[in-house]
Structure formats: C-alpha cells, structure tokens
C-alpha cells in the first residue's frame, strides 16, 4: 500500500492526557494486557458479530489501535484473503503484536490523528477501545472517512460518560477534590462528531457491569491494561495505602461477594 504524510485536520475537544504518556503506559502493559482485557474482548466481539451479520468480505483491513493484535489476528481468521494492517501509537504494543502474529499481518507505529495512508485504501476500519484516548476524536473519524474505499465500513467502540462511576464515587469520598478516574465523553458528543464526519452513522450504547473480588482487584486490572488515570491532575506521588483503604470502604455495593464496576459502552457503525 502506498503511504503519504498528511497534515493534521482541524482539532476537536482535547482529552487531558499526553500522547507520550498514553504510548508509554500501554507499552508497559503489553505483557499483561491480554490477561486483563475482559471488557475489550466483549466489545470487540460485539463488533465482529455485527460484521458477520452484514456478511462483509473486505479485501483490505485496518485495525486502528490494535494493541497486542488480539483482534487483528481474529480479523485475519475471519477474512483470510484480506490484507491486514495493525496500527498503534505504542511501539511496545506493536512489538508485542508482531512477536505473537503471523508474518502475513503488517504492523505500523502511528498516530491515529495523522495516519500515513493514501485515501480510499481500506474496505474495513476496525477500532476497539482506542478513540477515547485521542485528543481530537473528530480528526480520527475524518481520517477514517478519507481512508475508506467506496462502500467501505467503519466499526469503532469507545467508552462513554458514566464509566467507572462507582470508582469515581468512592474516590470522591476517600480523596475529595482529587481526580482518580478518567473522564469520557457523553453520547451526545459522539452523535455530534458523527454528524460532522460520518453522516448517517449509528451509535449503539449499553452499560456493561463486570464483577470484581474487591475495588483493589478493579484497580489492579486497570493497571494491567495500562488504563489507569491519565489526566493532568493526577497525583505526582504514590497514593497512600490509607487512601486506598478509604476508597475501598466507600465503594458502593461492596459486600462479601465483591463489587461491580459499570462501563458505559458505545459502538459506532458507518458505511460510506
């Protein structure tokens, strides 16, 4: 595939996390990510099921924000004749994906807001739980539209406002005024972004509740994923054990069986 460098598109609303921090944290989690990715599997499988219902047969596929390449390999199994490229911001994730995958899959370290491909390149762009980490998600959607061939399809998943609300509530009691939980956009923001870039796109939402042995088990899972709090307001020093204990004590619904965490999931589907 030919590649070109393209200038950044007009910016949208920034997310308060530096790209270098995101790439580093996910890279550090490359060896533990797959064992902790329950939510990621659920949401990615939902997109694969949707594609199966549509009976698509793409010849060129981009897995945008491919991480360790789990779903890149799943896409290859389902579409063995397709040319597939996995792209991620994190060099560590790309290294892990390449080492665990067939040579037929191509890998590239690149920024989703400045993708180096020519227009009308892909029949399918698949992106699972990546776009919520982008500073300018509207730019990402505009790039996806540019890169899709006529009749191409886009499947994107993200997390929405209300995700980890129980953890946020617990920390508001244990450490008032200090942010500990990532913020995510409201559904109406994604509807607006879709209207600006992907006319006619469909947004599907669902709240997924996952069980945990304890709030600390939830905290450990987020660390294994590299998905801990990434905002600029995070503490520079390690949070004290006393604050963690207070957070656990304030976690809503905690009982002898453990606790649950809510994830407000969003899937966006579009056909050019």
- Kindly tell me the burial class for residue 53, based on how many C-beta atoms sit within 10 Å of its own C-beta (0-12, 13-18, 19 or more): exposed
The verdict on residue 2 lying in a domain is: no
- Is 175 contained in some domain? yes
Strand partners, 204: 267
- Residue 4 located in a structural domain: no
The pLDDT score that the predictor gives to residue 51 is: 94
- Report the chain's C-alpha Rg in angstroms: 19
Which backbone phi and psi does 151 adopt, to 5 degrees? 75, 10
Determine the distance from the C-alpha atom of residue 186 to the mean position of all C-alpha atoms in its chain, rounded to a whole number. Answer: 15
> Is residue 9 predicted with pLDDT exceeding 50?
no
Q: In the prediction, which pLDDT does 230 show?
A: 64
Question: Which pLDDT does position 17 carry in this prediction?
Answer: 57
Structural domain contains residue 5: no
- The enclosing domain of 36 has a CATH number of 3.40.50.150
CA distance 83 to 76: 8
Total-model pTM: 0.89
Domain span at 102: 19-271
The pLDDT value recorded for residue 233 is 56
Number of domains in the chain: 1
pLDDT at 69 over 90: yes
Q: Which residues of 167-193 are buried (b: 16+ CB within 10 A; e: fewer)?
A: beebbbebbeeebbbbbbbeeebbeeb
| Residue range 175-196: mean pLDDT, rounded | 92
- The answer to whether residue 7 is domain-embedded is no
């Amino acid at each position: 595939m030919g590649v070109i460098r393209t200038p950044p598109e007009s910016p949208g609303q920034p997310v308060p996390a530096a790209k270098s921090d995101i790439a580093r944290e996910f890279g550090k989690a490359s060896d533990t990510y797959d064992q902790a990715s329950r939510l990621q599997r659920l949401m990615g499988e939902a997109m694969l099921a949707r594609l199966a219902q549509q009976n698509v047969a793409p010849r060129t596929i981009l897995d945008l924000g491919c991480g360790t390449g789990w779903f890149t390999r799943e896409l290859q199994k389902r579409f063995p004749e397709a040319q597939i490229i996995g792209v991620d911001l994190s060099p560590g994730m790309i290294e892990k994906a390449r080492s665990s995958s067939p040579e037929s899959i191509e890998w590239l370290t690149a920024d989703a807001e400045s993708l180096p491909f020519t227009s009308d390149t892909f029949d399918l762009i698949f992106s699972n739980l990546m776009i919520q980490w982008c500073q300018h998600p509207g730019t990402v959607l505009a790039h996806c539209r540019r890169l899709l061939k006529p009749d191409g399809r886009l499947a994107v998943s993200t997390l929405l406002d209300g995700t980890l609300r129980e953890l946020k509530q617990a920390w508001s009691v244990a450490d008032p005024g200090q942010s500990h939980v990532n913020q995510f956009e409201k559904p109406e923001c994604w509807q607006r972004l879709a209207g600006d870039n992907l006319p006619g796109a469909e947004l599907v939402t669902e709240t997924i509740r996952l069980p945990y042995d304890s709030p600390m088990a939830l905290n450990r899972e987020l660390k294994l994923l590299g998905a801990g709090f990434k905002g600029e307001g995070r503490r520079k020093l390690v949070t004290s054990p006393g604050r963690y204990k207070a957070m656990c004590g304030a976690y809503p619904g905690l009982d002898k069986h453990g606790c649950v965490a809510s994830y407000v999931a969003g899937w966006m589907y579009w056909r050019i």
